[in-house]
Structure 1
């Protein structure tokens, strides 16, 4: 594990920010994204702190002004391989995708054994490249869940985005899980 100190400031034109969305969801895919910004974008922060309209606006700017990669791991992959293995595989793919002369920073506290990827807790709130990756992952995850809500309307994925809200848990109890629900995740 290679952690940045909390107060360390990172300034690098070659920084690839990495974050995921859907890690703790009860259904649907987990998306892992990586982003290298080519110009400064005002307003970047943790995607969870932005409303949907602002995320969409920033998403458009990020797409136009960055190099990025977005990976998706299905519920079946998460159930079969495990969440940690999916994350490790994703980080490895990201590292191989981008030029070796880049620096890599992943939001969190572990790099899952992938050398050359540094970590920082709450990097999505502190580092623009990681904020951008957070937004890319969140917007795509939400779009996927909005689409899947049409096929599985009884779960209201368009509202809960497949996270373990009280309503979502009640709907699973009422209707049972669908093929999108992660069998490896147990309701508490």
Structure 2
């Protein structure tokens, strides 16, 4: 599938502004992953966009370029176990906070994709939620690409450990094939026990 080009060029910000985004809120298995990126305006990166609008090949090509050219970047996770303990929203916020604090420098401002700013980020420095921010700001788009490629790599590794579930194909999302595998084999340690389809099987 060809990459979908942004209708308007993404906004590049001056100053140390961190874009933050996550990947993996909806799947039934694996961690939720967040990334934080401070881009260098002096080192532009061509083709940044919301990771969902890019092909896997394009994301995989952009990720190392982002890591090379960014002023700072970090990727962090919240595990399936943590998701079950504190719920997916709070686990997402936890992963985001871990990513920002792992940058090694405190940005002047944080831009978070979505409609909510984690309180734990707001106490660090000024922070703003931006709906569809990964298609608006280059720094958030870069974060979305790092989060997505990192999580996909994790799920492919899990596929090697648990091949019966097909994690490399659906990345843990509740596809028909994944649900059928769950019914046949039951959940594994990578599954989120608090998510409906998995919780129902866990009670059987």
Confirm or deny a common fold (TM above 0.5). yes
Cα deviation digits, residues 111-144 of structure 1 (max 9, x gap): 1324222111111111110010000000010001
2:39 equivalent to 1:37: yes
Query: Contact 1:34–1:68 at 8 Å: present in 2 too?
Result: yes
Query: Contact 1:84–1:112 at 8 Å: present in 2 too?
Result: no
What TM-score, normalized by structure 1, do the two folds share? 0.88
Aligned to 2:80: 75
Gaps of 5+ in 2: 1-10
Alignment of structure 1 residues 86-97 onto 2, 5 Å: 86-97=91-102
1:52 maps to which of 31, 53, 56: 56
2:139 equivalent to 1:129: yes
Aligned to 1:23: 25
Structure 2 CA distance for partners of 1:92 and 1:147, relative to 1, 3 Å: closer
Q: Distance in 2 between matches of 1:164 and 1:101?
A: 36
Gaps of 5+ in 1: 1-8
2:107 equivalent to 1:105: no
Structure 2 CA distance for partners of 1:175 and 1:101, relative to 1, 3 Å: closer
Alignment of structure 1 residues 157-172 onto 2, 5 Å: 157-172=167-182
Query: Contact 2:166–2:178 at 8 Å: present in 1 too?
Result: yes
Shift of 1:177: 1.0
- Structure 1 stretch displaced more, 109-118 or 154-163: 109-118
Shift of 1:106: 0.6
Q: Distance in 1 between matches of 2:169 and 2:45?
A: 28
- Structure 1 stretch displaced more, 163-172 or 49-58: 163-172
Q: Distance in 1 between matches of 2:27 and 2:60?
A: 21
SS at match of 1:23: coil
Q: Distance in 2 between matches of 1:95 and 1:36?
A: 10
CA RMSD of aligned residues (A): 1.8
- Structure 1 stretch displaced more, 28-37 or 82-91: 82-91
Structure 2 CA distance for partners of 1:107 and 1:89, relative to 1, 3 Å: same
What TM-score, normalized by structure 2, do the two folds share? 0.82
